[in-house]
Structure 1
Amino acid sequence: MKPKKNPKADLRKKTVLFLQIGLIVVLLFSYVMINLKTYDQKQAKAEQWDPVEMTEEEAIPITKVQEDLPPPKPKDPPVIELIEDESPETEDEMESTETSLDDIVEVDEIIEAPDDDPVEPVPFEFIEDVPIFPGCESLDDNEERKACMSEKISRFITKRFNTGLGEDLGLSGINRVTIMFEIDKNGDVKNVKARGPHKLLEEEGKRVIKLLPTMEPGKQRGKPVPVRYTIPINFKIQN
Structure 2
Amino acid sequence: MKAKKNPKLEIGRNSSIYFAIGLNIMLLFTWKALEYRTFETEIDPIEILDIASEYQEDIPITKISTPLPPPPVAVSESIEVVESVADIEETVIESTESSQEIAIADPEPVVAVEDVKVEEVEEDVEVPFAVIENIPVFPGCEGLDKQASKACFQTKMNEHIKTHFHYPEDALDLGIQGRVSVLFIIDEKGYITGIRSRGPDKTLEKEAERIVHLLPRMKPGTQRGKPVKVSYAVPIFFKYKAAL
Q: CA deviation at 1:98?
A: 5.7
Partner of 1:228: 231
Quick one: distance in 1 between partners of 2:137 and 2:241?
A: 36
- Output aligned runs, 1:41-190, within 5 Å: 89-90=99-100, 93-95=104-106, 97=108, 115-119=121-125, 121-139=126-144, 141-165=145-169, 166-171=171-176, 175-190=178-193
CA distance 1:157–1:202, change in 2 (3 Å): same
Match of 1:202 among 195, 201, 205: 205
Quick one: distance in 2 between partners of 1:154 and 1:96?
A: 71
Match of 1:212 among 212, 215, 223: 215
Q: Report the 3-state secondary structure (helix = DSSP H, G, I; strand = E; otherwise coil) of the residue aligned with 2:203.
A: helix
Provide structure 2 residue ranges, at least 5 long, that are not aligned to the other structure. Answer: 1-97, 111-117
Q: CA deviation at 1:151?
A: 1.1
Structure number having the greater helix percentage: 1
Q: CA deviation at 1:229?
A: 0.3
Q: CA deviation at 1:97?
A: 4.1
Q: Report the 3-state secondary structure (helix = DSSP H, G, I; strand = E; otherwise coil) of the residue aligned with 1:191.
A: strand
Quick one: distance in 2 between partners of 1:114 and 1:167?
A: 54
CA distance 1:128–1:116, change in 2 (3 Å): closer
Q: Report the 3-state secondary structure (helix = DSSP H, G, I; strand = E; otherwise coil) of the residue aligned with 1:237.
A: coil
Tell me the matched-pair count. 137
1:155 alignment partner AA: E
Quick one: distance in 2 between partners of 1:97 and 1:138?
A: 58
Contact 2:186 2:193 in 1 (8 A): yes
Identity %: 40
Q: CA deviation at 1:115?
A: 4.4
Quick one: distance in 2 between partners of 1:236 and 1:177?
A: 11
CA-to-aligned-CA distance 1:189-236 (integer Å, 9 cap, x gap): 000001111101101111111110000000001000000100101132
Quick one: distance in 1 between partners of 2:203 and 2:167?
A: 11
Contact 1:218 1:224 in 2 (8 A): yes
Contact 1:171 1:237 in 2 (8 A): no
Contact 1:122 1:225 in 2 (8 A): yes
Q: CA deviation at 1:95?
A: 2.8
Contact 2:204 2:238 in 1 (8 A): no
CA distance 1:147–1:93, change in 2 (3 Å): same
Q: CA deviation at 1:145?
A: 0.7
Partner of 1:4: none
Provide structure 1 residue ranges, at least 5 long, that are not aligned to the other structure. Answer: 1-87, 100-111
Quick one: distance in 2 between partners of 1:93 and 1:206?
A: 75
